[in-house]
Amino acid sequence: MQTIRIRYGDHASQWIDLSLPDSVDGRLPVVIFIHGGYWRDVHGADQGEPLVADLVAAGVAAVNVEYRRVGRSSVHGGGGWPATFLDIAAAIDSLDGRDELDLDRVVAVGHSAGGQLAAWAAARTGLPADAPGADPRVRLSAYVSLAGVLDLISGARARLDNGAVQNFLGGEQDQRPEAYALGSPINRLPIGIPGVCLHGTKDDRVPYEQTRTFVAAATRAGDDCRSFTLVGTGHFEYRDPSSAAWAAARSVTLALLEGQRQGT
């Protein structure tokens, strides 16, 4: 595996690692992994390293995204609304023009808070022209949410992880209505590209209701959005490349890429 670090900004956390198989034959489809951690600066892109290696072993290009998160750290903090959203947009757009990549087949995979960011990135084409992240240069062809926080309004109401949503968006919905309206994936429906949402029945960090409600709303809006319930799975198993949860995530991700290659 060969890895190239690409900086998309001057902040210490504004970078991606693009990993490719040692032998590249033609343009490769791309999987973009966005880590979670309730958007807080104590969690970083190291979570995605073993998953990226596993994806590259399957013959695709894989991108591990780092971004500014919420906190006081000069190295990892500085995120929130709209900084984190701008980072995710810039990180994905930094792939534009790379000849080794098939940018017609790009799937974003996000875990937990990263699931929110992956689904939001998928919806960038529908953002108002002046919104953070609008007018993408690289458009996703599908997205995969792994125990994602897909409804920020209900997540704030439930005070997930001691008010993580409020910390991320800078306040309650009535204080930051634009941030909630533009940043919450359920408020950006229809997204217009395929989505797959996986969630475990024993998740004690992000309620399964987040996925159930989102997929139902996406389907009503006309999106091709499917859910997979992982019986007995908790919240963190996806980060283990040897787990059944990650095997399911990898399988649906590669199937989305293959379906796009075949034009289905």
Which pLDDT tens digit goes with each residue over 27-42?
A: 999 999 999 999 999 8
Kind of pairing between the strands at 15-20 and 2-7: antiparallel
Is 140 within 8 Å of 96 (Cβ atoms)? no
Is 29 within 8 Å of 63 (Cβ atoms)? no
State the Cα–Cα distance between residues 242 and 130, nearest whole angstrom. Answer: 43
What angle, 0 to 180 degrees and rounded to 10, lies between the N-to-C axes of helices 113-122 and 83-93? 60
State the Cα–Cα distance between residues 56 and 127, nearest whole angstrom. Answer: 31
* Cα distances (Å, whole numbers) of residue 51 to 26, 101, 142, 157: 23, 19, 18, 32
Q: What is the pLDDT of residue 261?
A: 67
The mean pLDDT of the chain is 96
2-261 CATH: 3.40.50.1820
pTM for the whole structure:
0.96
pLDDT at 264 exceeding the cut of 60:
no
| pLDDT tens sequence across 125-167 | 999 999 999 999 999 999 999 999 999 999 999 999 999 999 9
State the Cα–Cα distance between residues 146 and 216, nearest whole angstrom. Answer: 16
Share of the chain above pLDDT 90, in %: 94
pLDDT band at 262 (very low <50, low <70, confident <90, very high): low
Q: What is the pLDDT of residue 122?
A: 98
